[in-house]
Amino acid sequence: KEGSAVPPQAKGSWTSFLKSIASFNGDLSTMTAPPFILSTKSLVEFSSYWGEHPSVFVAPTKEKDPEKRALRVLIWFLSTLKQQYASRSEKLGSEKKPLNPFLGELFLGKWEDEAGTTQLVSEQVSHHPPVTAYCISNADAGIRLQGYNAQKASFSRTINVKASYAHTQIGHALLHIDEYNETYLITLPALHIEGLITGSPYVELNRCSYIQSSSGYTAKIDYSGKGWISGKKNSFTASLYPEGKEKEPIYTVDGQWTDAFTVKDGKTKAVVDSFDPKKTKVTPLTVAPLNEQDEMESRRAWKKVADAITKGDMDTTAQEKSLIENRQREMRKVEREESREWNRRFFTRADKYPLVEQLSAKIGESINDNQTNGVWVFDQDKASQAKPPSTKEGDNPELRK
Ligand code: CLR
């Protein structure tokens, strides 16, 4: 038997947590977990994983050939997976339960490096169900990613029911390249958590996800996890093909998303490129100092909770959490009384999203807006009214209306 990472005094609470997972209703805001597995970071921060290699993100804009451009987009997508799904386990020793964002919570920042300035805006646009929307853009390169996703626990009944946690992401991302007026619809992989019994949970991806471009290319990524083909964990195979011609790949990619992967020519099978996420520099995100942040900004809002979690002080953690929750409840009450809704600062609910529907139809997916409290789009007008983080002078009360 493997050793357990559960602290001795938490054995009981871990066991009851595992049991509670089995009967969990899927809404993350109702999940309670033992202290040692709590993270000090809110889920609203997770949007930043899409942009941590700005040069790889803007690379497609420099490619004139549409096929190769679609390949650059696929490589960028694959390059984000390690940060998205393995970085917490690598840094903290295991996956942790993130803080559950409140409605209107913001995470703003930018990356500055050889790719210029890449901006991040992430906003919690719904609380029940929890939905995060984000926009990552590099104006000089003329590229913009926007997306929204809801998180949902889902149950795979095939595995030992007591300690299994499977998870579906609802939503999608859209990458737009100005120069070619090209849009890529990106679907999100399903995942499950391994290592629960021993108290050291980590993420493994399942099934498949797609990237469908308006220029007529489809990329399909199959996640196989440990064992299936190579016996290595986090394995995947991907292929890029003209839409409708899955059997005629232009490129194939295989390897591990936490390790190296290689790109091969679909016909000749010759290796044409490779990528190693371990050797690719991660550009740190610049976030305004706490005292200059708006009070809706995640790290400022959760500061006292995060400090209490770090100290292991569960009484203070609970107290500070209730303060936030009560305040939110109060705000919702006032909104109901005045029959209005919380005004999202950067995103708007869209009634129709024809391009997305058109692209998703090509990969046989449908956009399910009733699970995400609507379809969320970045609103340029709202955004230009809300001052970007780079030019903000202190805590501007104007922004808090
Ligand atoms: C959020 C959106 C990001 C990618 C991403 C990575 C890890 C996922 C997270 C998403 C959603 C919440 C998640 C997390 C891993 C563990 C955590 C599923 C999809 C759950 C809620 C934690 C469960 C408690 C464990 C300690 C067992 O782009």
> CA 380, CA 374: separation in Å to the nearest integer?
18
Determine which residue's CA is closest to atom 21 belonging to ligand 1: 97
Q: pLDDT at position 156, please?
A: 59
| Alpha helical stretches, state H, 200-297 | none
C-beta of 33 in contact with ligand 1 (< 6 A): yes
227 Rama class: left (phi>0) / alpha (psi -120 to 50) / beta:
left
112 alpha carbon to ligand 1 midpoint, in Å? 27
Query: Would you give per-residue pLDDT tens digits along the chain (401 residues)?
Result: 457 889 998 899 898 888 888 777 777 778 888 888 999 999 999 999 999 999 999 999 999 999 999 999 999 999 999 999 999 999 989 999 999 999 999 999 999 999 999 999 999 999 988 999 999 999 999 999 999 999 888 765 555 545 678 888 889 999 999 999 999 999 999 999 988 888 889 999 989 999 999 999 999 999 987 655 567 889 999 999 999 999 999 999 999 999 999 999 999 999 999 999 999 999 999 999 999 999 999 999 999 999 999 999 999 999 999 999 999 999 999 999 999 999 999 999 987 788 999 999 999 887 777 788 888 999 988 888 876 544 444 444 434 33
Structure tokens at 26: 């899927």
**With 0-12 CB in 10 A as exposed, 13-18 as middle and 19+ as buried, what is 251?**
buried
Best CA proximity match to 141, nearest among 115, 175, 119: 115
Q: pLDDT at position 160, please?
A: 53
C-beta of 348 in contact with ligand 1 (< 6 A): no
The dihedrals phi and psi of 43, each to the nearest 5 degrees, come to -60, -25
Write down the residue that tokens 């020519």 correspond to.
265
Determine which residue's CA is closest to atom 8 belonging to ligand 1: 85
Provide the β-strand partners of residue 116. Answer: 113
C-beta of 97 in contact with ligand 1 (< 6 A): yes
